[in-house]
Amino acid sequence: MKNYITLFIAASALYSCGNSATVEPAGSEWFDNAVDLAEAQLLAAADYCDSTILFPRALKTDYSLEQLTAQMEVPVDSFKPEIELLKHPAPEEFREVSLVGYADWTSGFFPGSLWYAYELTGNEKLKEQAVKFTNRLLPVSDMTDTHDLGFMVNCSYGNANRLAPHDSIKNVVVKTAYNLAGRFDDKTGCIRSWDFGPWNYPVIIDNMMNLDLLFNAAKITGDSSFVTVALRHADTTMKNHFRDDFSCFHVVSYNSDGSVERRQTFQGKADDSAWARGQGWALYGYTELYRNTGEKKYLDHAEKVAKLIIDKNKTDDLVPYWDFDAPAGETTPRDASAAAVIASALFELGAHTDNQQYIRYATRILHSLASPRYLATKGTNGNFVLMHSTGSLPHGSEIDTPLNYADYYFLEALVKYKRLANGESPVIRMF
Q: Which residues are catalytic?
A: 148, 206
Residue 338 contacts residue 320 (beta carbons within 8 Å): yes
Report the amino acid identity of residue 145.
D
Please state, in angstroms and rounded to a whole number, the distance separating the CA atoms of residues 131 and 119: 13
Exposure of 257 in the CB half-sphere (CA atoms within 13 A): 1
Residue 113 contacts residue 39 (beta carbons within 8 Å): no
Q: What is the DSSP letter of 328?
A: P
Please state, in angstroms and rounded to a whole number, the distance separating the CA atoms of residues 412 and 227: 25
Name every residue whose Cβ is closer than 8 Å to that of residue 261 and which is 6 or more positions away in sequence. Answer: 199, 200, 201, 253, 254, 255
Report the amino acid identity of residue 262.
R
Please state, in angstroms and rounded to a whole number, the distance separating the CA atoms of residues 331 and 392: 16
Exposure of 97 in the CB half-sphere (CA atoms within 13 A): 19
Please state, in angstroms and rounded to a whole number, the distance separating the CA atoms of residues 118 and 114: 6
CB neighbours (10 Å) of residue 359? Answer: 25
Report the amino acid identity of residue 318.
L
What are the start-end ranges of the H helices in 50-158? 65-72, 76-79, 109-121, 124-135, 149
Report the amino acid identity of residue 116.
Y
| Helical packing angle, 276-293 and 4-14, nearest 10° | 100
